């Protein structure tokens, strides 16, 4: 059985379910390999417009499987080079999620700790069930809380003070607090969580594919941009590119004719 299920039942949407429920979907060597392979394929698939990431059972993802990774994990005695290579392998999955051309919705159904919280933070949008819990696990194991992009994403999502508190204490943050802090967009009853994610995906898909891709790309690029002129320049170039597409003309025609648009990604 795969550790990552891929469902394509809804047109234009790929639902990825981390499927190691006995370990709260902790990241082992097999799940990591399947995440890398699957995300690489989806990034090249024009038939996928939105990706939804969730977990099976009670957890979203409990981070690194420290009990049984199922592959070689370097020991301290292996030296810094081996340790750094392993850390880079684990952390690069966050960049892969971020760099997908499609919007990624994290449907956080339960515990999202350590690497699981990092995966959720790398998504473009987060929805949470009431039982969702977020935590920076490494700091409670004698390590730095700064791992897998958390020190980059979390202050940008919730502000420096809240991020510092969460990362320095390692305490678990519930869904309501995550909503109040801005980490998640909505808290949705668990039975309706995937349906809510699907409705959100449908709302995104209702817009032109090129416009969606450029929105994601420019939004993330401008998030860390300190210079307004450069931010405006990115936006202006994206708009000029978008207005030349056939889909932009189709969107205008559909608006004037009061009908749903028929996009062709051209």
Q: What is the pTM of this model?
A: 0.95
Pairwise CA distance, residues 125 & 105, whole Å: 5
Pairwise CA distance, residues 38 & 158, whole Å: 29
Query: pLDDT of 75-89, one tens digit each?
Result: 899 999 999 999 999
Pairwise CA distance, residues 219 & 238, whole Å: 11
Task: Please tell me what DSSP assigns to residue 185.
Answer: S
Pairwise CA distance, residues 113 & 139, whole Å: 11
Q: Across-strand partners of 6? A: 16
Residues 113, 133 contacting (CB under 8 angstroms): yes
Q: Domains of the chain: which residue ranges?
A: 4-204, 207-257
29 confidence band (pLDDT: 50, 70, 90):
very high
Which of 61-70, 183-192, 237-246 is least confident? 61-70
How many angstroms separate the Cα of 231 from the Cα of each of 34, 78, 90?
36, 44, 31
Residue 26: left if φ>0, alpha if ψ -120 to 50, beta else—which one?
A: beta
Residue with tokens 């919705």: 105
What residue spans of 100-227 are helical by DSSP H?
Answer: 115-122, 150-158, 160-169, 175-181, 193-205, 209-223
Pairwise CA distance, residues 101 & 42, whole Å: 9
Query: pLDDT of 228-237, one tens digit each?
Result: 999 999 999 9
| CATH, domain range 4-204 | 3.90.226.10
Query: pLDDT of 199-239, one tens digit each?
Result: 999 999 999 999 999 999 999 999 989 999 999 999 999 99
* Ramachandran angles phi, psi of 50, nearest 5°: -145, 140
pLDDT at 12 over 90: yes
| Predicted local confidence at residue 71, as pLDDT | 77
């Amino acid at each position: 059985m795969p550790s990552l299920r891929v469902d394509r039942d809804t047109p234009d949407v790929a639902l990825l379910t981390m499927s190691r429920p006995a370990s709260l979907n902790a990241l082992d060597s097999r799940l990591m390999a399947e995440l890398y392979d699957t995300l690489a394929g989806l990034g090249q698939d024009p038939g996928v417009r939105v990706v939804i990431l969730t977990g099976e059972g009670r957890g979203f993802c409990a981070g690194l499987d420290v009990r049984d990774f199922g592959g070689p994990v370097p020991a301290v005695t292996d030296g810094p080079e081996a340790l750094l290579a392993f850390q880079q392998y684990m952390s690069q999955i966050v960049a892969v999620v971020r760099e997908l051309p499609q919007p990624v919705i994290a449907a956080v159904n339960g515990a999202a700790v350590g690497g699981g919280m990092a995966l959720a933070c790398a998504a473009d949008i987060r929805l949470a069930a009431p039982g969702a819990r977020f935590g920076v696990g490494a700091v409670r194991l004698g390590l730095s809380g700064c791992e897998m992009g958390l020190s980059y994403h979390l202050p940008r999502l919730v502000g420096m003070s809240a991020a510092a508190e969460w990362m320095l204490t390692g305490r678990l943050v519930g869904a309501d607090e995550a909503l109040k802090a801005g980490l998640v967009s909505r808290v949705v009853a668990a039975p309706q969580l995937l349906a809510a994610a699907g409705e959100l995906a449908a709302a995104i898909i209702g817009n032109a594919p090129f416009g969606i891709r450029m929105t994601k790309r420019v939004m993330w690029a401008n998030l860390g941009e300190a210079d307004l002129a450069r931010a405006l320049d990115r936006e202006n170039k994206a708009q000029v590119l978008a207005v030349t597409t056939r889909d932009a003309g189709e969107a205008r025609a559909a608006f004037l004719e009061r009908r749903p648009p028929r996009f062709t990604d051209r």
